[in-house]
Amino acid sequence: MNFASICVLLMIIGLAALAIRTIIRDKKNHKNRCGGSCNNCGMRSMCHDPGALLKAYHQDHSS
């Protein structure tokens, strides 16, 4: 790897780390990423019931 490749790689890793940090910080502060209205959201039932995603997965993948 040359110097330019290493610099680009470090910048990508840094940006990804900042994005992850922002997401974690917003989650801890109970900030919503969807715009605040659940009326038009296809995942509205999943947000308000912590076990709903797991239930839906098991329902879709049951044999």
* Confidence (pLDDT) at 48: 67
Report the percentage of the chain scoring pLDDT > 90: 32
Residue 61: both structure tokens together: 């993948």
Q: Between 34 and 18, whose confidence is greater?
A: 18
Which residue ranges make up each domain of the chain? 1-30
Sign of CA dihedral 20, 22, 26, 32: negative
Supply 21's token pair: 């940090």
Q: What is the pLDDT of residue 11?
A: 97
Mean pLDDT of 30-51: 68
- At 17, is the pLDDT very low, low, confident or very high (cuts 50, 70, 90)? very high
Report the C-alpha gap between 47 and 45 in whole angstroms. Answer: 6
Long-range pairs for 19-28: beta carbons < 8 A, 24 or more residues apart: none
Only one residue has tokens 């839906």, namely 56
